[in-house]
A and B are shown apart, each in its own frame.
Chain A
Amino acid sequence: MVSGCLAKIVFSDTRHNYLLHYLAALGVVLLTPVIFGVSRLDERLAAQPLEFFLPLMGAILMPAVFMPEQNESIRDVVRSKKTPYPGVCFMRLLCGAVFITVLTGAFVLYMKSMDSVVTMRLFAGSLASTFALGAAGFFASAVSDNVIVGYMTAVIYYICNFGLKDKLGVFFLFSMTTGSFDEKKWLCILSVVLIAAGFVLRRLFRER
């Protein structure tokens, strides 16, 4: 019953609030072969599109989880409902994560069909970067109660990876292009911590 209700909410949400976000994420994937070479690449060159461009999907989808309730009229309606609000947000987040995983997987298979050396660890590494970038935006969005701040944080984190590589240490998003995979586990931990902290802090300070 509850799961059916949540599914209905998610479907309705996607149709009314997130269609543009999903299309933008799809646009990122479709644009990638235009900007990057994808055929006959070794592991390090194949990491370029997977690390430099696909993570933008996370920045588009994950900070937007709290977007519909930015309008205070909608928030008032949501507060009056029996369905737990964090549950709805979690479902949105999950949908985004599944969509990102499917698109990244499809792109990896496409690269493989173009004779590039793409391995499972490249796929996992790309997802880790995507989720870390998205989680940073999600956390900022949750804590500040402002989706624009979420996007801003994700964009700043992304830009920092171009100019402040050494200062980011284990949180460097583009490590696979330099041949290192150690950072990816830290990015996974960072993603989980930021998402959990985002939910907890929002419940503590914003939903009361």
Chain B
Amino acid sequence: MLFGKECRRILTSLTFIIYCFVVGLFFVSQFIDENKGDPYIPDEKISEDHDIIIDSAVDCLANEYLANNYICYPLGFYKSVRLKEDDSQKVEECLLEITGLTHDELMDIRDSGEHYYVEHGIQETMYYEIGELPVSDTITYERFCELMGQVDDILGGGSKYKVDDLVANYSYVPMTQEDREAIISDLYDKDRVVGGYARLFSDYVGIDLGIMPVFVAAALVSADRRKRVSDLIYTRKISSLKLIFTRYTALVTMMFIPVILCMISADIHLIRYFDFNDLALYKMFTLPTFWLLPQLMIVTAAAMIVTEVFSSGIAILFQFAWWFYSIMADGARLSGSISKFDLVCRHNTVFGREEFMLSKNDFIFNRIFYFIAAIVITAITAYIYELKRGGRFHGIRLFGKNSIFRHKA
């Protein structure tokens, strides 16, 4: 009864109508328009060969260290970093440990080669032709990752030495004809075609679901106050737990319906381009639900609690910051970008099953974590609502009349 009422309120709200439009628009413009005909097969693949990774990374680090010019992409945008003497010294220590060289030997290599200039903006940076540096026999891959992590920290993050991205940054090798046949065979045999497209679908729709639900949830929660019905609802017999969870379930259910409709459309779209017998259509429902539902749940729960405690504006600001960070933190890396606490998981390719499977455990942990976190946050929201109902808490206004943190009158 109450669930139905809440669903009707959501259905008639302008924010929900815009939400549906945006989910549909992005689905059509990104998924449908971009996937007509045979899928694009990449030219390179990840080899995961530790020797290749160490060799390539150490050459790159030596080049940037000697030029003292590190190109970083914190949040995906260009930034050139120049280190001070003491930080540069720390990077050198890492470099020497990986190569097994001494300071003098490194300087000899630097001085024995030619140098050249590369333009970065209006500055010209001098680089040295140092060739391939040796790698110490005693260095293990684990220790190498540790040192790379230290270098990334010194550079302030977003560098080419971020541990999670080492494999993707340095182990790409050209694909042979056998490799191509293997990934096509993976798509047909292991993914049954739809599995690959389901990952791509989740990637596109996940971008919307990282931000759009906050508007629908914040508008619904703040509507009580706006329409001056909060006091009326406070006096009703229904428990706060039941009210908040019903409202939350209604929000999640209603906002997931357009996603389900997109899943159905995606399946129909695939039937047009592939042989029906090759398709495991159920995969368009299983993986995207596991991928997207926890994300929708956590965004909705966060929006509800922040709106109850502060205001809808702060909920939007908070969610935008979280979403922006999650999308941009991995820079230009669009596939296999999945870690334990990413809000938006990225895997923007039909192929790349192997790359996805590398992060499988993190992905499962991530989604289960957010699923549980969403329920816990909603329970806390119900408790806050109960406090407000009993007059023991009135929400926090950051900037009030008399003080920075003032309880609302």
Contact = CB atoms under 8 A, between A and B. Distances in A.
> Is this pair of chains taken from one and the same complex?
yes
Q: How large is the interface on B (under 10, 10 to 19, 20 to 34, 35 or more residues)?
A: 35 or more
Nearest to A36: B77
B75 A35 contact: yes
Residue of B79, B80, B218, B312 with most chain A CB atoms under a 10 A cut-off? B79
A200 interface: no
Nearest to A152: B215
B79 A156 contact: no
Given A37-B79, A152-B18, A159 B313 contact: no
Contact of A117 (B29, B30, B122, B398): B122
Given A71-B225, A144-B14, A155 B211 contact: yes
Interface residues of A, number: 42
Contact of B80 (A20, A40, A152, A163): A40
A199 B225 CA distance: 25
Contact of A151 (B29, B78, B316): B316
Interface string B73-88: 0110111110000000
Interface in B225-277: 225-228
A158 to B, nearest CB: 9
Contacts of A35: 74-75, 77, 79
Chain A interface, >50% SS class:
helix
Contacts of B120: 40
Nearest to A18: B399
A70 B122 contact: no
Interface in A20-54: 20-21, 24, 34-37, 39-42, 45-46, 48-49, 52
A48 B78 contact: yes
B122 A20 contact: no
B15 interface: yes
B77 A20 contact: no
A72 interface: yes
B305 to A, nearest CB: 17
Interface string B7-37: 0000000110010001000100110000000
A134 B116 CA distance: 45
Contact of B228 (A19, A73, A159): A73
Contact of A40 (B123, B207, B401): B123
B219 interface: yes
Contacts of B123: 40
A71 B227 CA distance: 8
A102 B203 CA distance: 39
B75 A41 contact: no
B131 interface: no
A11 to B, nearest CB: 13
Contacts of B228: 72-73
Residue from B218, B219, B314 having most chain A Cβ neighbours under 10 A: B219
Given A40-B123, A144-B14, A155-B320, A20 B79 contact: no
Given A64-B313, A146-B219, A148-B316, A20 B30 contact: no
Given A16-B401, A35-B75, A36-B77, A41 B215 contact: no
Contact of B29 (A46, A148, A163): A163
Contacts of A151: 215, 313, 316
A148 B122 contact: no
Interface of B: 14-15, 18, 22, 26, 29-30, 74-75, 77-81, 120-123, 207, 211-212, 215, 218-219, 222, 225-228, 312-314, 316-317, 320, 398-401
15 contacts: A16-B400, A24-B317, A34-B74, A37-B77, A39-B80, A41-B122, A42-B122, A49-B77, A70-B226, A146-B14, A146-B219, A148-B215, A149-B15, A149-B219, A155-B316
